[in-house]
Amino acid sequence: MELRNEDLPATLQAFELEDNREIFIAEQVVNTQDEITNFTNRYMGKLIKAKTVTLGNNRSRINPDNAVKKPKSSINAVMILVVLALLVLAIYGFSTGWIQDKLNLNI
């Protein structure tokens, strides 16, 4: 079995035919012709189907350079703001003496 380079990566599936039914055996995503040859040799005599790998409904091929990126969360920005606010309050509390007064500290 040979596929064009434009069709790679592809998913190969092997099926056993029994009583006019297809029984699934194995599946592998292949990126090179050597991987295709290894898969077809391993499952020789079985029904082998091939299909291109798609991502979602937009039919774009999976590509490490074009991977789907997870949306960034704003939790990091919120945590930084909370820590900065606490730091400002601590500096203000020490500079006015309010923290030393409430905790009975002699600094």
Q: What is the largest CA-CA distance in the chain?
A: 90
Rg (CA), the chain: 30
Confidence of residue 28 (pLDDT cuts 50, 70, 90): confident
Specify the higher pLDDT residue, 75 or 62.
75
pLDDT tens-place string over residues 66-97: 566 667 778 888 999 999 999 999 999 999 99
Distance from C-alpha of 95 to C-alpha of 107, rounded to nearest angstrom: 11
Q: How many CB atoms lie under 10 A from the CB of residue 3? A: 16
The end-to-end CA distance of the chain, in Å, is 82
Q: Is there a cis peptide before residue 71, judged by omega within 30 degrees of 0?
A: no
